[in-house]
Structure 1
């Protein structure tokens, strides 16, 4: 039987120390199966759902293959969305935290082009990015890939769905033939098999299904048959009846996302939308508020939500059923994780009934249907986050550390440690989640108080209007 201890792998003491510091104690099934092959530099296909630990698997592998003394790009990780690219780059930086002078550069849209170009000119070991922005830098001569040892296509199925097939092929053509290629995909349709055949050499396939089976067992799925004009009323009734602590509502269009979030806010449910029309700063702030319990409801399109790792989500609602069963399974897989139960509800109008049949066929089960009148309404219902987020106008560039903010709030401001949640330090700003009831006390201090010996402006972040 394969040991699940990371120490059983041929990786450096620095890597083991970083894994321990990040809270990785035992390998997940996908890591136990794939890491020995990745470390042997084999081409590997990994088919597993979000949350299975596959990011750490390829992150450990590519770091193990690096030569820190060669300051050129040795690993390229391509992701379909900005959010996933940012999440992956953060994970790799964490895994590399005990290694000396490892530089990771993030290349994605929504961020200024100039600083990315300058970072590449100063050299980098690892590049993580989206296809469009990677191609832009290649065409402008900012990015050199001839030293790449490891190429990772993360969520390759979504990249194909988004129309990046040709861009992926153009980028791959610039890579050295003698490299390791890792292809990760939640699904493995014929298009992905073709991609694999064109870019990999004798790949070994790892398929881990346990998470999907577990989700099936503990996620309550219910379909509500409604007329088109009843969608909003049914959505509101679901919140009033089930009273979740947090939820994700999936929509099929950007306009739908914005309209549904606005509708929920007008009915005293704190909600924020995430879709392609938001700039990167807005997207980052929405995700941060959702992750730190400041905004309990996220209304998202599939592309914007892809790659988000959100634990302990109580409820998922399909405002409109997706057009394929794979997407449906991916959506409801957001809830019922880590052994917790979850609820997934779908609103289905008569013209969408064929989509429900597709889901039934895919899951080999009958969909259970209900009606709006079965839900108990509560005209006084409200849903707010347990915390609020404070934004400070200083970050890494101003040498601000989490301990500086924590010290100011628990020292002179008089808040207890339990009233302070997640602290996030960005380039030129910082964010602190605090208990809603402590907001006035914190703001009274920050109006005239100091952080790290100087006055720093702070304001409360709110869901975008």
Structure 2
């Protein structure tokens, strides 16, 4: 059978999954889905070398959703991921794919917020758990999650799990899982450590190679390099951000301290900038991402670990303010824009010494280099800029059975907004964020406060 003839129906997936795929407008399987799904459905262990954007989440997601028994009140599928944002992204993807499986429960567990919140949500065992290793071990230690009914273990972004130092946690987790299980492992690169992890934990795995994450960038991505002394970087960055075509931007720094320092500098020069790094509490991280997604901010200044797995659609520009140590970090950063066929631009600011390092990386061969343009800096502004939209915090979320549709209805009926004026909405477990036009925000917050959504009175406040 030729690859063009393969359809999701011909892969033998359950009707409920085909219905979800149709609603999500997934026309045909990607190469990695086409190869992984039949092997996984046959119960084989699978190793997938698959880069970002290859469709690997749906490849393993569809495979395990096909196998889950929604009548069995126990964790049956475990997905281990390296970062909190990726845990949330995978959980949401699995929920969408499993939308028509009755009473399916998918949960994400990760550090950075109160353990008691997660423990409370485990009164009914989730069928699928997506977790970071440290937090999952906490649950195992306290016996809030018991893995004795586990069918499938998935190690997603295995290279990053190891790179972030989770080797010991992985060993401890695997010890506690049933020996009779299926294991699927996905990694962008196949380092010696990843190969050793495969050897120890998978049984006669089938190998799928959908390309390595280190030697390709999207064709519609423009790479621009700016060379000059380190002291010119702030002015050069500001010049890039002030261009109309820059749009929404993600800026990478190598340390948390640099992120905070750079965001303050940008705010002082009239740029609506937010910070994202690994030591921020989860609600603060959610808020920073939300403001970029809904247009309340123009710029997010982030570290590599914090940006791992974040999903910001319509991201126009990436700027690598600090040069990374390795080619794969450069590739991962640059690849956050120009996704899913969109166009994007990735800039890198480098000293001559840093430029010499970057030029050794094959993935960076397409960079168009020029001298840094660093106009004289304007004096610091007394206040940060005020974007057109502002974000409102609503004191109800997914655990209160609240949906984006409910929020739109409430903001129209009680807040007095036109439906088109209600901007980007994001619903979290215990709260939600709604973007509204700045001039009406205060009045809308007052009007909606006290309104009932799904029988619960809500409080609404401005997020600044």
Shared topology, TM-score over 0.5?
A: yes
Name the residue aligned to 1:117. 119
Return the alpha-carbon distance in structure 2 between the equivalents of residues 185 and 220 of structure 1. Answer: 26
Name the residue aligned to 1:132. 134
Asked if the contact 2:396–2:402 (Cα under 8 Å) also holds between the matched residues in 1, the reply is yes
Asked if the contact 1:47–1:208 (Cα under 8 Å) also holds between the matched residues in 2, the reply is yes
Q: Is 1:75 matched up with 2:77?
A: yes
Name the residue aligned to 1:260. 262
Structure 1 residues 220 and 321: alpha-carbon distance in aligned structure 2, compared to 1, 3 A threshold: same
Give the counterpart of 2:237 among 232, 235, 258: 235
Give the counterpart of 1:309 among 308, 311, 334: 311
Map of 1:13-412 to 2, 5 A cutoff? Answer: 13-120=15-122, 122-209=124-211, 215-241=217-243, 243-359=245-361, 362-363=362-363, 365=365, 367-373=367-373, 385=387, 387-412=389-414
Return the alpha-carbon distance in structure 2 between the equivalents of residues 74 and 450 of structure 1. Answer: 39
Return the alpha-carbon distance in structure 2 between the equivalents of residues 342 and 398 of structure 1. Answer: 38
User: Which stretch shifts more, 423-432 or 230-239?
Assistant: 423-432
Give 1:158 deviation, angstroms.
0.8
Structure 1 residues without counterparts, runs of 5 or longer = none
Residue-pair matches, total: 459
Return the alpha-carbon distance in structure 2 between the equivalents of residues 446 and 117 of structure 1. Answer: 31
User: Which stretch shifts more, 329-338 or 391-400?
Assistant: 391-400
Q: Is 1:450 matched up with 2:464?
A: no
Structure 1 residues 119 and 456: alpha-carbon distance in aligned structure 2, compared to 1, 3 A threshold: closer
Give 1:12 deviation, angstroms.
1.5
Return the alpha-carbon distance in structure 2 between the equivalents of residues 318 and 172 of structure 1. Answer: 37
Structure 1 residues 110 and 186: alpha-carbon distance in aligned structure 2, compared to 1, 3 A threshold: same
User: Which stretch shifts more, 348-357 or 378-387?
Assistant: 378-387
Structure 1 residues 130 and 420: alpha-carbon distance in aligned structure 2, compared to 1, 3 A threshold: same
Return the alpha-carbon distance in structure 2 between the equivalents of residues 285 and 194 of structure 1. Answer: 38
Return the alpha-carbon distance in structure 1 between the equivalents of residues 207 and 311 of structure 2. Answer: 24
User: Which stretch shifts more, 422-431 or 300-309?
Assistant: 422-431
Give 1:243 deviation, angstroms.
4.1
Structure 1 residues 379 and 212: alpha-carbon distance in aligned structure 2, compared to 1, 3 A threshold: farther
User: What secondary structure is seen at the aligned counterpart in 2 of 1:344?
Assistant: strand
Structure 1 residues 99 and 317: alpha-carbon distance in aligned structure 2, compared to 1, 3 A threshold: same
User: What secondary structure is seen at the aligned counterpart in 2 of 1:284?
Assistant: helix
Return the alpha-carbon distance in structure 2 between the equivalents of residues 104 and 5 of structure 1. Answer: 26
Asked if the contact 1:240–1:378 (Cα under 8 Å) also holds between the matched residues in 2, the reply is no
User: What secondary structure is seen at the aligned counterpart in 1 of 2:70?
Assistant: coil
User: What secondary structure is seen at the aligned counterpart in 2 of 1:215?
Assistant: coil
Return the alpha-carbon distance in structure 1 between the equivalents of residues 126 and 460 of structure 2. Answer: 34
Give 1:213 deviation, angstroms.
7.7
User: Which stretch shifts more, 173-182 or 57-66?
Assistant: 173-182
Give 1:427 deviation, angstroms.
3.3
Asked if the contact 1:215–1:336 (Cα under 8 Å) also holds between the matched residues in 2, the reply is no
TM-score by length of 1: 0.89
Structure 1 residues 278 and 7: alpha-carbon distance in aligned structure 2, compared to 1, 3 A threshold: same
Return the alpha-carbon distance in structure 2 between the equivalents of residues 14 and 209 of structure 1. Answer: 30
The superposition leaves residues 66-118 of structure 1 with CA deviations (integer Å, 9 ceiling, x where unpaired) of: 22232222111101011111111122222222212322232211232234334
The superposition leaves residues 303-362 of structure 1 with CA deviations (integer Å, 9 ceiling, x where unpaired) of: 111112223321111111100001100110111122222111111124424431332xx3
The superposition leaves residues 391-449 of structure 1 with CA deviations (integer Å, 9 ceiling, x where unpaired) of: 122334555443333223323544222222222233332221224455366346447x7
The superposition leaves residues 131-177 of structure 1 with CA deviations (integer Å, 9 ceiling, x where unpaired) of: 11112222333332232211101111111111111211221222223
User: What secondary structure is seen at the aligned counterpart in 2 of 1:312?
Assistant: coil
Asked if the contact 1:43–1:204 (Cα under 8 Å) also holds between the matched residues in 2, the reply is yes
Structure 2 residues without counterparts, runs of 5 or longer = none
Structure 1 residues 18 and 386: alpha-carbon distance in aligned structure 2, compared to 1, 3 A threshold: farther
Structure 1 residues 455 and 38: alpha-carbon distance in aligned structure 2, compared to 1, 3 A threshold: closer
Asked if the contact 1:296–1:384 (Cα under 8 Å) also holds between the matched residues in 2, the reply is no
User: Which stretch shifts more, 436-445 or 62-71?
Assistant: 436-445
The CA RMSD measured in Å over matched residues stands at 2.8
